[in-house]
Amino acid sequence: MDVVEGKLFYQGKLQKACIGIEDGRIVSVKKVLKGDEHYDFGDRLVLPGAVDPHVHFREPGQTNKEDFQTGSLSALFGGVTCVLDMPNNVPPTIDADSLKEKSDRLRGRSWVDYGLFGGIAPGTKISSLQDCHAYKVFLGSSTQSTLIKEENDLARISNEISATGKVLSVHAEEDAMLRRMDEGSLRDHEECRPRQAELMAIERLLRYQDRMRINICHVSCRESLVSLKGSKLTFEATPHHMLLDSSMDLGAWGKVNPPLRRKADREEILAAFCRGEVPMLATDHAPHAPDEKERGFGEAPSGMPGVETGFSMFLLLVKKGVLPLEVLIKAACHTPAATFGLNKGEIAEGRDADMVVIDPREVRQIKGRDLHSKCGWTPFEDREALFPQTVFVRGKVVIDDGSIVGDRRGREVPR
């Protein structure tokens, strides 16, 4: 047995104790434990690794932007030890063959554990996607997405999905309400993709809440929070919708779907998050190459990287006293794991030993050039964050002192 000692986040609070690890799992948590290898982190924090239920690592097909190796390395350095990867690849991951091909291709290449979404297009047979971890639907067009627009398609899908018990994550913007026009700014982008498109999509999905498990991706406006309150739907908020808004001078670097909205939206989603009212933190890490973003606003693709900076920036909000640690751990670790059926997201007996060690004194400034995504930029340049010093993936140290010391041991999670 190996032992990790430090200030653990255990049973809802920080306490000085030891974690016993065997075969990659946590086998005991006690005040004192003796083991073969003993890692003593003193008064530093030992937290569960984050689980990001929404990333786009671009494999196969767009490896000029990112690939699974760089995307997962970026996750690892950000303290994210498990990701769920989206299906809007080239070709899209929407049937048994494309899913198997993607799964085979990723084997042995990831730094963190991962699960794969199966994308749903109008003709998709849900039974052909039995090897996916969860399902994804786009109700509104976005980057390389396959769309579901018709009510009867949605109704058919809901019947088939309910039998699987798996979650359906939805990009909730009603396609019919999106306008095509010349766009030159973030405000134009917001106008093209109005908040009503998100609200209508959520209203539509609420009618399915008793039929299947639905998760709303990246909630972007305050009215959505009101609609979702008290419903059976789970939802995600992204760091960018909580820290950036359309009044900021970001140009196409801030172009994303759903759009960045007003300062009041941003502040309200962040405040709800800090009160524990947002179930999950998800980065929607969607890297694009700098030359694509520099093409001019209208031409630039939507999406921004974030898997390395999300958890780490929110840890800084904890240090600043804005966000309770237990709220962050719940939204970034525990709830994503519980929602998507992963044996992760908490320090507890039986869970995978995925942990990060944080020294609250070691605040760092974010620099795009220091991050590990292939895209090489970040919309959060110069902001501060608390990056992990040490990261354990299933009981093995993979990052120590901020450098890689272990092997790529990420694997596809059991379904």
Q: Which is nearer to ligand DOR, 2 or 59 (CB)?
A: 59
Q: Which residues are catalytic?
A: 284
Residue whose C-beta lies closest to Zn ion: 171
Per-position x/- string for 200-239, each x denoting binding to Zn ion as judged by CB under 5 A, each - no binding? -----------------x----------------------
At its nearest, how many Å lie between ligand DOR and the CB of residue 362? 32
At its nearest, how many Å lie between ligand DOR and the CB of residue 347? 32
At its nearest, how many Å lie between ligand DOR and the CB of residue 22? 39
Residue 174 near Zn ion by CB under 5 A = no
At its nearest, how many Å lie between ligand DOR and the CB of residue 260? 10
* Residue 88 partner contact from ligand DOR, Zn ion, none using kind-dependent CB cut-offs of 5 to 8 Å: ligand DOR
- Chosen residue from 113, 173, 236, 284 binding Zn ion by CB under 5 A: 284
Q: Look up residue 16 and give its two tokens.
A: 């000085």
* Residue 344 partner contact from Zn ion, ligand DOR, none using kind-dependent CB cut-offs of 5 to 8 Å: none
Q: Which is nearer to ligand DOR, 56 or 195 (CB)?
A: 56
**β-strands 25-30, 80-85 pairing:** unpaired
Q: Which is nearer to ligand DOR, 46 or 154 (CB)?
A: 154
* Residue 302 partner contact from Zn ion, ligand DOR, none using kind-dependent CB cut-offs of 5 to 8 Å: ligand DOR
3-state SS record for the chain: CEEEEEEEEECCEEEEEEEEEECCEEEEEECCCCCCCEEEEEEEEEEECEEEEEECCCCCCCCCCCCHHHHHHHHHHCCEEEEEECCCCCCCCCCHHHHHHHHHHHCCCCCCEEEEEEECCCCCCHHHHCCCCEEEEECCCCCCCCECCCHHHHHHHHHHHHHHCCEEEEECCCHHHCCCCCCCCHHHHHHHCCHHHHHHHHHHHHCCCCCCEEEECCCCCHHHHHHHCCCCCEEEECHHHHHCCCCCCCHHHHCCCCCCCCHHHHHHHHHHHHCCCCCEECCCECCCCHHHHCCCCCCCCCCCCCCCCHHHHHHHHHHCCCCCHHHHHHHHHHHHHHHCCCCCCCCCCCCECCEEEECCCCCEECCHHHCCCCCCCCCCCCCEECCCCEEEECCEEEEECCEECCCCCCCECCC
At its nearest, how many Å lie between ligand DOR and the CB of residue 283? 11
Q: Which is nearer to ligand DOR, 88 or 390 (CB)?
A: 88
Q: Which is nearer to Zn ion, 48 or 258 (CB)?
A: 258
At its nearest, how many Å lie between ligand DOR and the CB of residue 257? 4
- Chosen residue from 44, 171, 255, 261 binding Zn ion by CB under 5 A: 171
Q: Which is nearer to Zn ion, 62 or 390 (CB)?
A: 62
Residue 198 near Zn ion by CB under 5 A = no
Residues at the site binding ligand DOR, with contacts judged by CB under 6 A? 56, 88, 142-143, 171, 256-257, 286, 302-303
Give the whole-angstrom CA distance, residue 94 versus residue 135: 9
Handedness of CA 67, 70, 71, 72 (dihedral sign): positive
* Residue 308 partner contact from ligand DOR, Zn ion, none using kind-dependent CB cut-offs of 5 to 8 Å: none
- Which residues on neighbouring strands pair with residue 365, listed in sequence order? 384
Q: Look up residue 167 and give its two tokens.
A: 């979650």
Q: Which is nearer to ligand DOR, 28 or 141 (CB)?
A: 141
Give the whole-angstrom CA distance, residue 269 versus residue 289: 28
At its nearest, how many Å lie between Zn ion and the CB of residue 170? 9
Residue whose C-beta lies closest to ligand DOR: 303
Binding residues for Zn ion, rule: CB under 5 A, are 171, 217, 284
